Chain A
Amino acid sequence: MNPVNAIELCDITKSFNDVPANNRVCMNVRWGEILSLLGENGSGKTTLMNILAGIYYPDDGTVLINGEEANILSPKDAFDLGIGMIHQHFKLVDNMTAAENIVLGLKEKGRLDRKSISAKVKEISEKYGFNINPERKIYDMSVSEKQTVEIIKVLYRGAKILILDEPTAVLTAQETDKLFTVLKNMRDDGKAVVIITHKLQEVLAVSDRVAVLRKGEYIGTVDTKDATAQMLTEMMVGRKVSLNIDRPTPVNPIPRLVAKGITCFNEEGYKILDNIDFTANGGEILGIAGISGSGQKELLEGIAGLYPVTSESSVLYYPDDTGKATELVGKRPMQIRKLGVALSFVPEDRLGMGLVGNMDLADNMMLRSYLKGKLGFTDRKQPKKLAEDVIDKLNVVTPGVSTPVRKLSGGNVQKVLVGREIAAAPKVLMTAYAVRGLDINTSYTIYSLLNEQKKAGVAVIFVGEDLDVLLELCDKILVLCGGKVSGIVDGRTATKEEIGLMMTGHKEEEKR
């Protein structure tokens, strides 16, 4: 391979709805390096890589692969050029084996030779340090194993350029380390590896160079050895940002929500939550950590009356300091509200559950208050005023109160949702992945809003995925593993490794 550059992009431009996602991006990726493509959400990282993978076609610009001009019209063209992309959402057939998924879609002549496929898969695995059984079915696999299958799939097809879209978003700390070892092996083998990410620690840990995009524009590429987190953040955001999260000391914590033995089953009868006990105190932030799908969603929805929990479960709500409690289990959301329970909930699915994407800001504010009007009519003045207040206080960027919320950016959508839930003056505030997909600025806005609520004596429950954030923000952290509490740790003293192990179930019941 003579040319130094595996990929050269020149003046790549791509617009959606006349909004540029990439604007004249020029950058290159060398053979034998790991390049991090860094940028906030909406900066155009994924769009740029999807152009290489043949999913989008650029409006303008040229792509050179190994020094030759390439015209990538389809994913097949990309494969032929040796480009393999591992998407955030896996594209595997659940009830086929790993080997079957790996050869799926290949047009090889003759009969399916399982032995030689397995042998080749084993060879690839050994070469790069994967650990996989080709005969296992996908539905038996963990998320990280599925990701491994995806990677082997592209290697099997002879990919020399690998693009991974946020590969660590679904992995634990330990799995991330393993993945990075594999990526380094590939680099040493001379392949070009691009990882899309917005996590600075990972960028610094794994890559050789970092390319930064901001709002569709290419900002620059730096060698990782010369880079610092602060400097990369500034490139990403465009100005100086403080990277510390506040954690005020809790004042006079008293129990607001006491959960005992929350258990629930899904529609197929599997136990999703198993005997969950915890206490959320007013004036504290209780973090909930766990691999995604460990029961976080069901736990919050169960408390809010949206997911059925067994009748033995109990969630007691203490509205004041007198010790009088209200049982929430067995009540529907409307009943809970009518009892005067000040419980606010920022769900994970913002546009699909917390808000209505096609309705405007004012109508979305009305979701909580639409029954307050007279004679069966809705009162549109209050919600409109509330929408204006939220826009004002949280600096929501929107053309006006009558813009459908789906047209807002992810961060602004979340501000609208959090703003509405906080406006209800909660005593307990539950948030699920409150900063997922948000840029650094908005994330910090959300953290400070949660801290304000904490200082006002609200019991905040924060389900999170980024352990660094959980450790900096929360007073206590409850770790879930497979629907069970594997421990509750102090956010000030716990370490990332400790929580990572608890998440995978290696350390049970010790910290209780």
Chain B
Amino acid sequence: MSVSKGSAKKTPLIRIAKRADISKLHAWFIRIAAILLALASGGLLILALGHNPFAVYRDMISGAISTKTATIATAKIAIPLLGAALSLAPAFKMKFWNIGTEGQILAGAIAASYFALFHYQNFSRPVLLFIMFCASIVAGGLWGLIPAIFKAKWGTNETLFTLMLNYIILKIVTYLRTGPWKNPSSSGFPKIAMFDASARLPNVFGVNIGWIIVLGIVAFMYIYMRYSQQGYEIAVVGESEHTARYVGMSVGKIIVRTILLSGAIAGMVGFLIVSGSSYTLTDNTAGGYGFTAITVAWLSKLNPFAMIIISVFLAVLKKGSNTIQTNFKIPASASDVLTGIILFFMLGCEFFINYRLIFRGSNKAVEVQND
């Protein structure tokens, strides 16, 4: 059976059809093809800038993982990124589009910094660190609670709400830095003082202990989402609030509780950043981790273990792009473009996993009929 002769010319050139189930192998084939295509497109960009793509890619990787210092620096990026992505897992599962992770990280960082800056003399190191840990969880949770309560009570749009809260808390940090928390001994640019040694996280294998905590949360989140009653409630509310109400779940309560958890984890990430790597609070403390975490959450399809791989991958990209900036004098913006290209292809390939294109004259549809 061919398309009838007379009208073949007018048949649409490309038609899009939803795929039925696709085999895992096929899906991975598409993903790997996407990465190769991304590298090829990025290579063209590098060529246009006058460099050898292979050398640049090689330096990107070696700059991120070849030496111990490089690996530690990469890990320092990966830890908060993974933590932030984990905080998004329950929120996104519930289809609560929390893009306020950035702000929740800062809220936690402020609370932890308060104790690190002004009460370090009062406590022994373990107690101080524990208090900072708890304070960051409470602060992050409370910052998340505000939009959650509004959403639960009045159905406000959480996306805008959480986004706006980011700016508020960022300006609070600026205020603290230039005002009450300004380090009197620093001249010129107003800064907050560095933490006392007792307020800094200890290292394990050269990296701050945060990595153990975050890996612990990976395991917790996996079990929580898969096997707990609360995890089940989150999944049902995310899929259909009507169904949740129908079986008697209290949707508002579940929203508030879940975002409290999400914010708390994000707040703790703020603690890990100030106490584990920057040792002070700056406007840049959240550093875009909250936004990049959204990419991690999507790419990993909310699977906590996949999040480990994706955050390490993105951390390597980020560290590597720093390296090529110095090694090849490639401008920072160009290496950002490179990172963007790779992410674009990785996210874009999901379309080809879910849909297929039928070109004019293809008789694939007919083949399907015959089997």
Candidates A60, A71, A354; contact of B10 at CB < 8 Å: A71
Report chain B residues within 8 Å CB of A62.
4
Report chain B residues within 8 Å CB of A349.
242
Pairwise interchain contact B243-A69, C-beta atoms closer than 8 A: no
Pairwise interchain contact B243-A367, C-beta atoms closer than 8 A: yes
- CA A373 to CA B250, docked complex, whole Å: 18
- CA A363 to CA B238, docked complex, whole Å: 14
Pairwise interchain contact A17-B232, C-beta atoms closer than 8 A: no
Pairwise interchain contact A332-B20, C-beta atoms closer than 8 A: no
Pairwise interchain contact A60-B1, C-beta atoms closer than 8 A: yes
Give the shortest distance, in Å, between B154 (CB) and chain A (any CB): 13
What is the interface residue range for chain B against chain A? 35 or more
Pairwise interchain contact B12-A352, C-beta atoms closer than 8 A: no
Pairwise interchain contact B236-A356, C-beta atoms closer than 8 A: yes
Query: Would you give 21 A-B contacts (Cβ < 8 Å), ordered by A?
Result: A17-B17, A18-B368, A20-B369, A60-B363, A62-B4, A71-B6, A71-B7, A71-B10, A332-B250, A333-B247, A334-B248, A349-B242, A352-B242, A356-B236, A356-B239, A359-B235, A366-B232, A367-B236, A377-B229, A378-B227, A378-B228
Chain A, residue nearest B236 (CB): A356
Q: Is A8 an interface residue (CB 8 A)?
A: no
Candidates B7, B242, B250, B365; contact of A13 at CB < 8 Å: B365
- CA A20 to CA B371, docked complex, whole Å: 11
Q: Is A494 an interface residue (CB 8 A)?
A: no
- CA A65 to CA B251, docked complex, whole Å: 54
Report chain B residues within 8 Å CB of A1.
none
Chain A, residue nearest B4 (CB): A62
Pairwise interchain contact A356-B248, C-beta atoms closer than 8 A: no
Q: Is A127 an interface residue (CB 8 A)?
A: no
Report chain B residues within 8 Å CB of A60.
1, 3, 363, 365-366, 369
Give the shortest distance, in Å, between A332 (CB) and chain B (any CB): 7
Report chain B residues within 8 Å CB of A409.
none
Chain B, residue nearest A406 (CB): B239
Q: Is A452 an interface residue (CB 8 A)?
A: no
CB-CB contacts of B200-239 with A at 8 A, as 1s and 0s? 0000000000000000000000000001111111011001
Candidates B18, B232, B248, B369; contact of A378 at CB < 8 Å: B232
CB-CB contacts of A312-354 with B at 8 A, as 1s and 0s? 0000000000000000000011101100000001010101111
Chain A, residue nearest B366 (CB): A60
- CA A411 to CA B125, docked complex, whole Å: 64
Q: Is B171 an interface residue (CB 8 A)?
A: no
Give the shortest distance, in Å, between A291 (CB) and chain B (any CB): 23
- CA A306 to CA B17, docked complex, whole Å: 39
Give the shortest distance, in Å, between A235 (CB) and chain B (any CB): 23
Number of A-B contacts (CB under 8 A): 106
Give the shortest distance, in Å, between B236 (CB) and chain A (any CB): 6
Chain B, residue nearest A11 (CB): B1
Chain A, residue nearest B367 (CB): A18
Chain A, residue nearest B233 (CB): A370
Report chain B residues within 8 Å CB of A19.
20
Pairwise interchain contact A358-B239, C-beta atoms closer than 8 A: yes
**CB-CB contacts below 8 Å: A37-63 with B:** 57, 59-62
Q: Is A492 an interface residue (CB 8 A)?
A: no
CB-CB contacts of A81-123 with B at 8 A, as 1s and 0s? 0000000000000000000000000000000000000000000
Are A370 and B369 also in contact (CB < 8 A) when A355-B243, A359-B235 are?
A: no
Q: Is A270 an interface residue (CB 8 A)?
A: no
Report chain B residues within 8 Å CB of A358.
239
Which has the most chain A C-beta neighbours within 10 Å: B15, B233, B242? B242
CB-CB contacts of B331-363 with A at 8 A, as 1s and 0s? 000000000000000000000000000000001
Report chain A residues within 8 Å CB of B365.
13, 15, 59-60
Pairwise interchain contact A333-B229, C-beta atoms closer than 8 A: no
- CA A334 to CA B17, docked complex, whole Å: 43
Pairwise interchain contact A333-B248, C-beta atoms closer than 8 A: yes
Q: Is B157 an interface residue (CB 8 A)?
A: no
Report chain A residues within 8 Å CB of B245.
306, 333
Q: Is B240 an interface residue (CB 8 A)?
A: yes
Question: Which 8 pairs across A and B sit closest by C-beta, in order of nearness?
Answer: A334-B248, A59-B365, A71-B7, A333-B248, A17-B20, A353-B242, A356-B239, A367-B247
- CA A26 to CA B97, docked complex, whole Å: 49
Chain B, residue nearest A358 (CB): B239
14 further A-B pairs in the complex, CB-CB below 8 A; given A20-B368, A333-B246: A13-B369, A15-B369, A16-B17, A16-B18, A24-B369, A60-B3, A334-B248, A336-B248, A349-B242, A357-B239, A367-B236, A370-B233, A376-B228, A376-B229
CB-CB contacts of B30-57 with A at 8 A, as 1s and 0s? 0000000000000000000000000000
Which has the most chain A C-beta neighbours within 10 Å: B12, B231, B246? B246
Report chain B residues within 8 Å CB of A23.
369
Q: Is A136 an interface residue (CB 8 A)?
A: no
Report chain B residues within 8 Å CB of A18.
20, 368
- CA A475 to CA B367, docked complex, whole Å: 53
Pairwise interchain contact A334-B250, C-beta atoms closer than 8 A: yes
Report chain A residues within 8 Å CB of B10.
71, 73
Give the shortest distance, in Å, between B253 (CB) and chain A (any CB): 11
Pairwise interchain contact B368-A69, C-beta atoms closer than 8 A: no
Q: Is A240 an interface residue (CB 8 A)?
A: no
- CA A234 to CA B235, docked complex, whole Å: 43
Report chain A residues within 8 Å CB of B247.
333, 367-368
Chain B, residue nearest A364 (CB): B243
- CA A73 to CA B74, docked complex, whole Å: 54
Pairwise interchain contact A69-B4, C-beta atoms closer than 8 A: yes
Give the shortest distance, in Å, between A19 (CB) and chain B (any CB): 7
Report chain A residues within 8 Å CB of B230.
376
Give the shortest distance, in Å, between B169 (CB) and chain A (any CB): 32
- CA A359 to CA B226, docked complex, whole Å: 12
Q: Is B19 an interface residue (CB 8 A)?
A: yes
Report chain A residues within 8 Å CB of B235.
356, 359, 363
Pairwise interchain contact B369-A353, C-beta atoms closer than 8 A: no
Are A370 and B232 also in contact (CB < 8 A) when A60-B365, A378-B227 are?
A: yes
Candidates A69, A332, A354; contact of B248 at CB < 8 Å: A332
Pairwise interchain contact B239-A371, C-beta atoms closer than 8 A: no
Pairwise interchain contact B246-A345, C-beta atoms closer than 8 A: yes
Pairwise interchain contact A352-B240, C-beta atoms closer than 8 A: yes
- CA A499 to CA B354, docked complex, whole Å: 49
Are A377 and B1 also in contact (CB < 8 A) when A13-B365, A333-B246 are?
A: no
- CA A19 to CA B10, docked complex, whole Å: 25
Candidates A15, A69, A345; contact of B7 at CB < 8 Å: A69
Report chain A residues within 8 Å CB of B231.
378
Candidates B18, B227, B246; contact of A353 at CB < 8 Å: B246
Give the shortest distance, in Å, between A417 (CB) and chain B (any CB): 11
- CA A11 to CA B1, docked complex, whole Å: 9
Pairwise interchain contact A354-B20, C-beta atoms closer than 8 A: no
CB-CB contacts of B102-124 with A at 8 A, as 1s and 0s? 00000000000000000000000
